[in-house]
């Protein structure tokens, strides 16, 4: 039997894992990384004050992104089949795409994050979502 790799899901998994590692970088390297990544001045100040809030929030996001990476690898057949794979992949794909599209509406909204943050993070989420969508479409029949 010939196994055809789903490159879209492999890339999707890598993108989610890279995003998770960057979030861990914020926890390790503190306020300067929060600022550079556009998390907002409030998160950076809380990190400088050694508050647990930025660490807990950022660690939760990183964990979620690692889980999403594992689901993409599972859907690609690289690792064992995870529970509710089809449902999980649809939800993950939808979250990435909806976050990306919705985030574009916040570009001109005053708030903690800069317009550049909303633009770039939204485009990144759309790209992640597109890779998930294409990979999900390619492997849909195998994910029953």
**Digitized pLDDT (tens) for each residue of the chain, 144 residues in all:** 455 789 999 999 999 999 999 999 999 999 999 999 888 889 999 999 999 999 999 999 999 999 999 999 999 999 999 999 999 999 999 999 999 999 988 776 667 777 888 899 999 999 999 999 999 999 999 998
pLDDT of residue 72: 98
Is residue 23 within 8 Å of residue 58, measured between CB atoms?
yes
- Helices 115-139 and 52-75 pack at an angle, to 10 degrees, of 30
What is the spatial distance between Cα 105 and Cα 123, in angstroms, rounded to a whole number? 12
Decide: residue 135, CB within 10 A, 0-12 exposed, 13-18 middle, 19+ buried.
buried
Is residue 69 within 8 Å of residue 13, measured between CB atoms?
yes
Q: Which of 83, 48, 73 is nearest to 131 (CA)?
A: 73
């Amino acid at each position: 039997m010939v196994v055809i790799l789903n490159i879209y899901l492999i890339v999707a998994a890598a993108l989610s894992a890279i995003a998770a590692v960057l979030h861990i970088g914020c926890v390790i390297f503190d306020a300067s990384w929060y600022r550079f990544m556009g998390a907002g001045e409030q998160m950076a100040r809380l990190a400088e004050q050694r508050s647990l809030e930025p660490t807990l929030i950022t660690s939760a996001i990183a964990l979620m992104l690692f889980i999403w990476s594992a689901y993409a690898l599972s859907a690609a057949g690289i690792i064992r089949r995870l529970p509710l794979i089809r449902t999980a992949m649809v939800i993950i794909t939808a979250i990435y795409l909806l976050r990306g599209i919705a985030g574009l509406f916040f570009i001109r909204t005053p708030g903690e994050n800069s317009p550049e943050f909303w633009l770039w993070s939204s485009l990144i989420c759309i790209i992640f979502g597109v890779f998930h969508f294409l990979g999900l479409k390619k492997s849909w029949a195998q994910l029953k």
